[in-house]
Chains A and B, each alone.
Chain A
Amino acid sequence: MIDVVGTLKRGARGLIAHIDFPLLLITLTIMAVGLATVHSATYGGNERLLSQAGNMGVALVIMWFVARLPPHKLMGFAIPLYIVGLLLLLAVFMFGITVNGAKRWLSLGFTRIQPSEIMKIAMPLMLAWYFHKYEATLRARHFVVAALLLVIPFGLIAKQPDLGTALLVGGAGFFVIFFAGLPWKVMLGLGAAAAGAAPFLWNMLHDYQRKRILTLIDPTTDPLGAGYHIIQSTIAIGSGGPFGKGYLNGTQTHLEFIPERHTDFIFAVYSEEWGLLGNAALVFLYTLLIGRGMMIAAAAPTLFTRLLAGAITLGFFTYAFINMGMVSGILPVVGVPLPFMSYGGTALVTLFLGIGILMSIHTHGGRVNK
Chain B
Amino acid sequence: MSDFHNDEIERDRFRFRLGIAALVVLMAFGILIGRFTWLQFLQHDFYRTRADDNRIALIPIVPNRGVITDRNGVVLARNYSAFTLEITPAQTNDLEATIDALAEVIDIQAKDRKRFKRLLDEAKNFESVPIRTRLTDEEVAKFTAQRYRFPGVEVKARLFRQYPLARVASHVTGYIGRITDRDLAWIEEEGRQANYKGTDHIGKNGLEQHYEFELHGETGYEEVEIDAGGRAVRSLKRIPPVSGNNLQLTLDSKLQEITEQAFGDRKGALVAIDPTTGGILALVSTPTYDPNLFVDGITPENWKELNEHPDKPMINRTINGAYPPGSTFKPFMALAALELGKRTPNQAISDPGYFNFGNHQFRDDKKGGHGSVDMYKSIVHSCDTYYYMLANDMGIDNISKFMGSLGLGQRTGIDLGKDDAGESKGVLPSQEWKKQRFKKPEQQKWYAGETISIGIGQGYNAYTPIQLAQATAVVANNGVMFRPHLVSQIIDAKTGEKRPVEPRPIRDLKLKQQNVDVIRRAMVGVNKEGTGTRAFAGAPYEAAGKTGTAQVYSLKGAEYKASAIKKELRDHALFIAYAPADKPTIALAVLVENGGFGAQSAAPIARMVLDYYLLGKLPAGAAKEDATAVEDDHEE
What is the CA–CA distance of A325 and B35 in the complex, to the nearest angstrom? 9
Q: How far is the CB of A328 from chain B (nearest CB, A)?
A: 5
Q: How far is the CB of B224 from chain A (nearest CB, A)?
A: 11
Query: Is there a chain A Cβ closer than 8 Å to B620's Cβ?
Result: no
Q: Please pick, from A242, A276, A321, A328, the residue contacting B29 in the complex, using a CB distance under 8 A.
A: A321
What is the CA–CA distance of A283 and B25 in the complex, to the nearest angstrom? 11
Query: Is there a chain A Cβ closer than 8 Å to B397's Cβ?
Result: no
**Chain B 1-30 near chain A by CB (<8 Å), digits 1 or 0:** 000000000110111011001100110110
What is the CA–CA distance of A333 and B233 in the complex, to the nearest angstrom? 29
Q: How far is the CB of A341 from chain B (nearest CB, A)?
A: 14
Pairwise interchain contact A257-B228, C-beta atoms closer than 8 A? yes
Q: Please pick, from A175, A232, A279, the residue contacting B40 in the complex, using a CB distance under 8 A.
A: A279
What is the CA–CA distance of A329 and B47 in the complex, to the nearest angstrom? 14
Q: Please pick, from B10, B22, B28, B40, the residue contacting A238 in the complex, using a CB distance under 8 A.
A: B40
Chain A residues in the interface with B (C-beta under 8 A): 135, 175, 178-179, 181, 232, 234-242, 251-252, 254-257, 271, 275-276, 279-280, 283, 286-287, 290-291, 294, 297-298, 303, 306, 310, 314, 317, 321, 324-325, 328-330
Q: Please pick, from A135, A239, A254, A255, the residue contacting B47 in the complex, using a CB distance under 8 A.
A: A239
Query: Is there a chain A Cβ closer than 8 Å to B312's Cβ?
Result: no
The stretch of B50-58, B142-150, B548-556, B625-633 in contact with A is B50-58
Known: A179-B18, A181-B13. A280 touches B36 (CB 8 A): yes
Q: How far is the CB of B48 from chain A (nearest CB, A)?
A: 5
Chain A's closest residue to B226 (CB) is A255
Chain B residues in the interface with A (C-beta under 8 A): 10-11, 13-15, 17-18, 21-22, 25-26, 28-29, 31-33, 35-37, 39-41, 43-44, 46-48, 50-51, 54-55, 225-229, 233
Chain A residues contacting B26 (CB-CB under 8 Å) are 287
List 10 additional contacts besides A238-B44, A271-B40, A310-B14; criterion CB under 8 Å: A234-B39, A240-B40, A251-B55, A255-B55, A280-B36, A286-B29, A291-B22, A297-B14, A321-B32, A328-B39
Pairwise interchain contact A276-B25, C-beta atoms closer than 8 A? no
Pairwise interchain contact A283-B18, C-beta atoms closer than 8 A? no
Q: Please pick, from B14, B25, B41, the residue contacting A306 in the complex, using a CB distance under 8 A.
A: B14
Known: A178-B17, A237-B47, A306-B14. A276 touches B229 (CB 8 A): no
Q: How far is the CB of B236 from chain A (nearest CB, A)?
A: 11
What is the CA–CA distance of A175 and B20 in the complex, to the nearest angstrom? 12
Chain A's closest residue to B43 (CB) is A238
Pairwise interchain contact A239-B29, C-beta atoms closer than 8 A? no
Q: Could you list 16 examples of A-B contacts with CB < 8 Å?
A: A135-B10, A178-B17, A232-B54, A239-B50, A251-B225, A255-B233, A276-B36, A279-B36, A283-B29, A294-B21, A298-B14, A298-B18, A321-B25, A325-B31, A325-B35, A328-B39
Q: Please pick, from A232, A298, A303, A317, the residue contacting B28 in the complex, using a CB distance under 8 A.
A: A317
Pairwise interchain contact B41-A276, C-beta atoms closer than 8 A? yes
What is the CA–CA distance of A330 and B41 in the complex, to the nearest angstrom? 17
Pairwise interchain contact B29-A298, C-beta atoms closer than 8 A? no
Q: Is the interface of A mostly helix, strand, loop or mixed?
A: helix
Q: How far is the CB of B10 from chain A (nearest CB, A)?
A: 7
Name which of B18, B28, B228, B233 has the most chain A CB atoms within 10 A of its CB. B18
Chain A residues contacting B54 (CB-CB under 8 Å) are 232, 235, 251-252, 255, 257
What is the CA–CA distance of A252 and B39 in the complex, to the nearest angstrom? 15
Chain B's closest residue to A257 (CB) is B228
Chain B residues contacting A135 (CB-CB under 8 Å) are 10
Chain B residues contacting A241 (CB-CB under 8 Å) are 40-41, 44, 48
Q: How far is the CB of A370 from chain B (nearest CB, A)?
A: 10
What is the CA–CA distance of A330 and B225 in the complex, to the nearest angstrom? 30
Pairwise interchain contact A256-B229, C-beta atoms closer than 8 A? yes
What is the CA–CA distance of A242 and B39 in the complex, to the nearest angstrom? 9
What is the CA–CA distance of A350 and B29 in the complex, to the nearest angstrom? 23
Q: Please pick, from A255, A280, A290, A328, the residue contacting B225 in the complex, using a CB distance under 8 A.
A: A255
Pairwise interchain contact A271-B15, C-beta atoms closer than 8 A? no
Q: How far is the CB of A312 from chain B (nearest CB, A)?
A: 12
Chain B residues contacting A317 (CB-CB under 8 Å) are 25, 28
Name which of A175, A251, A291, A310 has the most chain B CB atoms within 10 A of its CB. A251
What is the CA–CA distance of A181 and B18 in the complex, to the nearest angstrom? 11
Name which of B37, B39, B44 has the most chain A CB atoms within 10 A of its CB. B39
Pairwise interchain contact B39-A237, C-beta atoms closer than 8 A? yes
Pairwise interchain contact B25-A310, C-beta atoms closer than 8 A? no
What is the CA–CA distance of A34 and B506 in the complex, to the nearest angstrom? 82
Known: A242-B44, A271-B36. A235 touches B14 (CB 8 A): no
Q: How far is the CB of A259 from chain B (nearest CB, A)?
A: 8
Pairwise interchain contact B32-A328, C-beta atoms closer than 8 A? yes
What is the CA–CA distance of A240 and B15 in the complex, to the nearest angstrom? 39
Q: How far is the CB of A234 from chain B (nearest CB, A)?
A: 6
Chain A residues contacting B21 (CB-CB under 8 Å) are 175, 178-179, 294, 310, 314
What is the CA–CA distance of A351 and B233 in the complex, to the nearest angstrom? 38
Chain A residues contacting B46 (CB-CB under 8 Å) are 238
Pairwise interchain contact A324-B32, C-beta atoms closer than 8 A? yes
Known: A251-B51, A256-B228. A237 touches B14 (CB 8 A): no
What is the CA–CA distance of A328 and B36 in the complex, to the nearest angstrom? 7
What is the CA–CA distance of A244 and B36 in the complex, to the nearest angstrom? 12
Known: A238-B48, A256-B229, A257-B54. A321 touches B28 (CB 8 A): yes
Pairwise interchain contact B25-A290, C-beta atoms closer than 8 A? yes
Q: How far is the CB of B7 from chain A (nearest CB, A)?
A: 9
What is the CA–CA distance of A234 and B36 in the complex, to the nearest angstrom? 9
What is the CA–CA distance of A303 and B50 in the complex, to the nearest angstrom? 52
Chain A residues contacting B226 (CB-CB under 8 Å) are 255
Q: How far is the CB of B344 from chain A (nearest CB, A)?
A: 89
Chain A residues contacting B51 (CB-CB under 8 Å) are 235-236, 238-239, 251-252
Known: A287-B26, A298-B15, A310-B18. A237 touches B55 (CB 8 A): no
What is the CA–CA distance of A287 and B22 in the complex, to the nearest angstrom? 9
Q: How far is the CB of A283 from chain B (nearest CB, A)?
A: 5
What is the CA–CA distance of A234 and B47 in the complex, to the nearest angstrom? 8
Task: List the 8 closest A-B pairs by CB distance, nearest first.
Answer: A238-B47, A239-B51, A255-B227, A276-B40, A238-B39, A256-B228, A239-B47, A241-B44
Known: A255-B227, A255-B233, A297-B18. A242 touches B41 (CB 8 A): yes
